[in-house]
């Protein structure tokens, strides 16, 4: 058994669509992925057969309860959370982070310190800057090396001290593609007595995520980036979540996870989360070798998911190598991220580049004329774009293949780019 691209692509109806005879080249995945048929089916099952609020005695309510419980358990396996009640659903990562930041802020006192990174998406920056403003906290900044596109954790050691309460860090950069050593960051933060909040939105679609192995305290992600629905997911350690005061209305339950879930959730979105996890389990079961198949039989979904992610990472690493090799051979192009072959294990295949003369938005527009979908700009990685001097200059062009993309698609992209540039 091995990775079977054609079988994977057949799962995604959107990959078969043509526009005026042209295939669609989905390289906009860091902004949102396409979904397999099973996600569409789960959403329609929810809306057609289980469309009810939770907790009632009638059939639809029972089905909705079951569906949400299953999604929580699937997500707990996907993140290796010890307890599915630690999985909280919400609108999206940004909204959930803003929401949690109020509860964390209330827990801290004026003069406490937090550490933010200059590589992160603004969803893991500004909620904490606002929290610091509202609760009188001091912000310290972890910068990255603009040549290696990585953090130097020796700098983290100089920022951590007895006042540090929280370190906020990304699993992978949505602009540079760098995978950060969040396990080591969490270890150092913990040693200093601080909590770690991980923005895993861009790492979860590409790498195995194990909150227990990472040793972080909170981790947030978004299912629409990992082949699911527009749905935010937040994991937090039970012992910490129970210390925090949730901002909630009075009739809402006081217990986890309900106390952090404001109002009525998007049950159809939550149904899609379970189906997306099921899609990864299917890859593990059908393509990732006997070990995974054996573990499914014994009901070990976690092991199956782990094998799937290992298989996909290896394939995506090849895609990244191919893309980076092609881009660096184009005249006038600079890749804004890790390019060394022996360092490709430390990046996801999200590759941003600039051209010495052409504006990123123009390049993206011309690619769109060929039905090739990419984003340009800072992509909300405000601090990272500023650090690289890209913020005022239109940012970069971001090409973000995932495991359903092919080497042939990348070749077509590189040929078109050569003509455009
Ligand atoms: C790294 C990262 N964090 C956070 C977000 C925000 O996620 P959401 O749209 O779920 O709020 C994004 C979205 O692109 C992202 O790439």
pLDDT digits (tens, 9 = 90+) for 404-415: 999 999 999 999
Q: Which CATH architecture has domain 41-274?
A: 3-Layer(aba) Sandwich (3.40)
Q: Looking at ligand 1, which residue's alpha carbon is closest to its atom 13?
A: 31
Q: What is the pLDDT of residue 289?
A: 73
Stretch 357-382: mean pLDDT: 98
pLDDT at 296 over 80: no
The alpha carbon of 375 and the centre of ligand 1 are apart by a number of angstroms equal to 14
The candidate with the shortest Cα–Cα distance to 285, out of 306, 254, 263, is 306
Which residues of the chain does CATH 3.90.1150.10 include? 5-35+302-420
Distances (CA, A) of 103 to 98, 211, 279, 318: 9, 21, 34, 42
The alpha carbon of 127 and the centre of ligand 1 are apart by a number of angstroms equal to 13
Rounded CA-CA distance 314/29 in Å is: 18
Give per-residue pLDDT as tens, 25-65: 999 999 999 999 999 999 999 999 999 999 999 999 999 99
Give per-residue pLDDT as tens, 60-88: 999 999 999 999 999 999 999 999 999 99
Pocket flag, ligand 1, residue 232 (CB < 6 Å): yes
Whether the pTM exceeds 0.85: the reply is yes
The alpha carbon of 152 and the centre of ligand 1 are apart by a number of angstroms equal to 24
8 Å CB contact between 273 and 233: yes
Q: What is the pLDDT of residue 335?
A: 98
Pinpoint the alpha helices (H) of 80-149: 93-107, 126-135
CA atoms within 13 A on the CB side of 269: 16
Domain spanning 5-35+302-420: CATH 2.40.400.10: no
Q: Which of ligand 1's atoms lies nearest the C-alpha of 173?
A: 1
Q: What is the pLDDT of residue 40?
A: 99
pLDDT at 294 over 60: no
What are the residues whose beta carbons fall under 8 Å from the beta carbon of 101, sequence distance 6 or more?
Answer: 127, 128, 130, 131
Rounded to the nearest 5 degrees, what angle is found at the Cα of 35, between the Cα atoms of 375 and 261? 90
Which residues of the chain does CATH 3.40.640.10 include? 41-274
pLDDT averaged over every residue in the chain:
97
Give per-residue pLDDT as tens, 220-275: 999 999 999 999 999 999 999 999 999 999 999 999 999 999 999 999 999 999 99
Q: Specify burial of residue 191 (Cβ count, 10 A radius: 0-12, 13-18, 19+).
A: exposed
Rounded CA-CA distance 412/402 in Å is: 16
Q: What is the pLDDT of residue 292?
A: 56
Radius of gyration of the chain (CA): 21
């Amino acid at each position: 058994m091995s990775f079977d691209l054609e079988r994977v692509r057949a799962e995604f109806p959107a990959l078969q669509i043509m526009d005026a005879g042209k295939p669609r080249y989905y390289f906009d995945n860091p902004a949102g992925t396409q979904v397999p048929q099973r996600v569409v089916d789960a959403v329609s099952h929810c809306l057609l057969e289980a469309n009810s609020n939770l907790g009632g005695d009638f059939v639809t309510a029972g089905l909705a309860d079951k569906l949400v419980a299953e999604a929580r358990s699937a997500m707990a396996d996907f993140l290796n959370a010890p307890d599915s009640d630690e999985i909280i659903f919400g609108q999206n990562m940004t909204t959930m982070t803003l929401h949690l930041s109020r509860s964390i802020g209330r827990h801290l006192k004026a003069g406490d310190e937090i550490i933010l990174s200059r590589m992160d998406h603004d969803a893991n920056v500004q909620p904490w800057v606002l929290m610091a403003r509202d609760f009188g906290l001091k912000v310290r900044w972890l910068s990255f090396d603009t040549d290696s596109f990585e953090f130097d954790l020796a700098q983290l050691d100089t920022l951590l001290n007895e006042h540090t309460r929280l370190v906020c860090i990304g699993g992978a950069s949505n602009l540079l593609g760098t995978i950060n050593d969040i396990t080591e960051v969490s270890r150092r933060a913990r040693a200093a007595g601080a909590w770690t909040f991980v923005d895993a939105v861009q790492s979860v679609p590409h790498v195995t995520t194990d909150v227990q192995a990472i040793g972080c305290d909170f981790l947030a992600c978004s299912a629409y980036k990992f082949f699911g629905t527009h749905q935010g997911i937040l994991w937090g350690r039970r012992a910490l979540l129970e210390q925090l005061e949730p901002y909630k209305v009075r009739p809402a339950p006081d217990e986890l996870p309900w106390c952090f879930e404001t109002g009525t959730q998007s049950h159809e979105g939550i149904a899609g989360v379970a189906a997306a996890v099921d899609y990864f389990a299917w890859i593990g079961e059908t393509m990732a070798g006997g070990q995974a198949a054996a573990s499914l039989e014994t009901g070990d979904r976690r092991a199956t998911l782990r094998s799937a992610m290992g298989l996909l990472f290896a394939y995506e690493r090849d895609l990244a190598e191919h893309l980076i090799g092609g881009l660096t051979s184009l005249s006038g192009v600079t890749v804004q991220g890790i390019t060394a072959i022996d360092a490709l294990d430390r990046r996801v295949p999200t590759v941003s580049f600039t051209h010495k003369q052409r504006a990123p938005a123009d390049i993206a527009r011309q690619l769109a004329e060929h039905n090739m979908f990419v984003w340009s700009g800072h992509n909300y990685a405000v601090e990272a774009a500023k650090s690289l001097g890209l913020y005022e200059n239109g940012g970069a062009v971001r090409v973000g293949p995932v495991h359903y993309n092919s080497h042939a698609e990348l070749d077509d992209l590189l040929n078109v780019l050569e003509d455009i540039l």
